[in-house]
Amino acid sequence: MKLIISNSSNVPIYEQIKNQIIDQILKDDLKEDEALPSIRTLSADIKISVMTIKKAYDELEKEGYIITRQGKGSFVAPKNLELAKEEKKKEIEEHINKIVSISKIYNIDEKEVLDLFKYMFEGES
């Protein structure tokens, strides 16, 4: 499992860890029932506090991405496709909000944005 932590990011470190693990799960880089590194091992590997790693793992478990088995460690939970789809819809909404903001700043009307979106979407097929 590869994690890249940015100290200059506005995103808290535990959240960076959580988000990167989620991305790896959704992309199938981390497979269902695959063991994650122990909190202590990951802490030593990426030189981040054990408490920060624990917080990331706790959030992942609360959100249904991992399961912790007493005495055995943390494992990738069975995929919940609805959860994955919701996560991606949320990401799309964030991008759309940026598009709307930019179009309002530069007085680009909705029709132009929708036409561009349709063109880009159809170009992908």
Tokens standing for residue 118: 């349709």
Q: Can you give the pLDDT at residue 87?
A: 78
Per-residue confidence band for 49, with pLDDT thresholds at 50, 70 and 90: very high
- Per-residue three-class SS string for 11-75: CCHHHHHHHHHHHHHHCCCCCCCCECCCHHHHHHHHCCCHHHHHHHHHHHHHCCCEEEECCCEEE
List CB contacts of 55: < 8 A, sequence separation 6 or more.
14
Helix (H) or strand (E) holding 76: strand 73-76
pLDDT of 76-117, one tens digit each? 998 777 777 787 888 899 999 999 999 999 999 999 999 998
Q: Give the percent of the chain with pLDDT over 70.
A: 98
* Residue 12 CB-half CA count within 13 A: 10
Q: Can you give the pLDDT at residue 121?
A: 86
Cα torsion for 48, 51, 54, 55, to the nearest 10°?
-100
pLDDT of 64-76, one tens digit each? 999 999 999 999 9
Distance in angstroms (rounded) separating the CA atoms of residues 108 and 102: 8
Closest among 61, 66, 63 to 77, alpha carbons compared:
66
pTM of the model: 0.69
